[in-house]
Amino acid sequence: MLQTLVEFQRTIYLALADQIKLLAAGGGWLAFFSFLPMGVVFGAAHALTPGHSKAVLATYLAGSDTKVSRGLLASIALSATHVTIAVLIAVLSLPLVSLALGSVGRAPLLEDVSRALLGVIGAWMVWRALGHGHSHKHEGEVVGFMAGLIPCPLTLFVMTFAISRGVPGAGILFALTMMVGVALTLSCVAVLSILFRERLVHLFDSRPRLFDLLSRGIEGVAGLVLAGVAIWQVTSN
C-alpha cells in the first residue's frame, strides 16, 4: 500500500516537473491550470503516508471534548500551517536555510518547536483530566497550528524546483491545491476520531459517573501519549 502511494506521488511529481519546465520555456498557463486539480489528489495521497501529524490529531481529538465542526477546523489549521510553512521556507530560503534546515526536506528547529508545544498541550490535557482547568473554544485550532509547524517535505521540493526554474508562482499555486488534498485526508482522520470517541462514550450515557470517569480517563491517557511522544522525539534528536 505504502509503495503504491509512493509510486503514485512520483508519477504526479514527474508530470508536474514537465509542466513547470514547459512554463519556464515560455509555454502558456492554460495547460498548467488544467493540471492543477492533480494537486488535490497529490496532497490527499501524500497525507496518507506516514507523518503529517495524523496520530497527533487523532490522539488529541479522541481525548478531548471537541465536536466535529471544531475537529474539522483543527485539521484545516494543521494542513494550512503544514504547507504554508514549507512555502515560506522555500521563498525565504536564503535567510532561513542556515537557521532551520538541517537536511533536505526537513526543518529540525521547527520540528522541535512543534513537538515541545504539543508536549505542553499534552501536559495541559492531563492536568484538566485531574479536575483542573477547562477546555478553550479554539484549543483544537491551536493544536492544529502547533502540529503543522513541521513543514511538508514534498511542498519544499515542489517550491524549490519551481523557484529554480524561475516560475515560483506555479509552485505556490500547486502548493495551494496540495493543501486542499492534505486537508481532505486529515479531515477524514478528524471525523473518524471524534465519531469513535462519541460512539464509545454513548455506551455509558445511562451511567453519568462512569461516563465522567471514562471521559477524564481518555483525556488523561491522550495527554500522556502526546507529552510522552513529544519528550521522546525531542530528546532522541
Each residue's pLDDT tens digit in the chain (237 positions)? 778 888 888 899 889 999 999 998 887 888 899 999 999 999 999 888 876 577 778 878 877 777 888 889 989 999 999 899 888 888 876 444 444 444 444 556 666 666 677 777 778 777 766 766 656 667 778 888 887 877 788 888 888 888 888 888 999 999 999 999 999 999 999 999 888 877 776 766 666 666 567 667 777 777 787 777 777 766 775
Question: Within 13 A of 7's CA, how many CA atoms are on the CB side?
Answer: 4
131 phi/psi in degrees, rounded to 5: 105, 15
SS3 sequence of 67-133 = CHHHHHHHHHHHHHHHHHHHHHHHHCHHHHHHHHCCCCCCCHHHHHHHHHHHHHHHHHHHHHHCCCC
Nine-digit cell string for 213: 470517569
pLDDT at residue 76, rounded to an integer? 92
Type and span of the H or E element at 156: helix 153-164
